[in-house]
Amino acid sequence: MFDAWAATYDRRIEAGTAPVSFEGYEQVLAEVVARAQVTAGMRVLDLGIGTGNMAALFLDGGCVVWGVDISAQMLARAQEKLPRLHVVQADLLADDWFGVLNQRFDRIVSSYVLHDLDLSQKMRLLARLAEGHLATNGWMVIADVAYPDRAARARAQGHWGRLWGEGEHYWAADETIAACQAIALHCTYRQVSTCAGVFVIRASGP
């Protein structure tokens, strides 16, 4: 599916014909960059990099960017646009790609990807990244289809009806913050559009 989207993904975003959940797309990406607070030379890992739209913003800021994506076509498109990009083709739920990176990152970011994982899968991924791939004093910034709480998410699902992504695990900030606390991660959230927001996740102090 993602390989099939690669050729038209950017055009759909620019034309405003992407799914309803992409409302405020540029503002959401800008919020990720603002929350990341990067400086030139920082190492950034982009999870589910797609065609590289968010990675481009970090490269423009002088960062060294690595991207992970399951789609070879998405990665090819990203590298065509961004020759300085480092890429790894992998399923985020697989174990084999963690060893390929073999380094720590000042920031780990993601946009419109992790709703494919249920809450427990999200937490396992975030915990593993925080423990093994986040640099000291680094943090993660995650943008996705999200709502302030479970009640707001339920209302949105009722509103969108058949347009609501079947099998998707859209975020609710209240349950996410609680789940992060349970695995020693500190999480804050900001709603950016009616259907998307940005999480900042850090390892809790001792």
Burial of 106 (0-12, 13-18, 19+ CB in 10 A): buried
39 vs 97, more confident: 39
Confidence band, pLDDT 50/70/90 cuts, at residue 59: very high
Q: What percent of the chain has a predicted confidence (pLDDT) above 70?
A: 89
In CATH, the architecture of 2-203 is: 3-Layer(aba) Sandwich (3.40)
Specify the amino acid at residue 171: W
Residues 6+ away with beta carbon under 8 Å from 204: 181, 184, 185, 186
Answer yes or no: is pLDDT of 4 > 50.
no
Answer yes or no: is pLDDT of 106 > 70.
yes
Tens-digit pLDDT profile for residues 71-86: 999 999 999 999 999 9
pLDDT recorded at residue 9: 52
pLDDT recorded at residue 137: 95
Q: At what angle do helices 173-182 and 119-132 cross, to 10 degrees?
A: 50
Tens-digit pLDDT profile for residues 185-197: 999 999 999 999 9
Answer yes or no: is pLDDT of 141 > 80.
yes
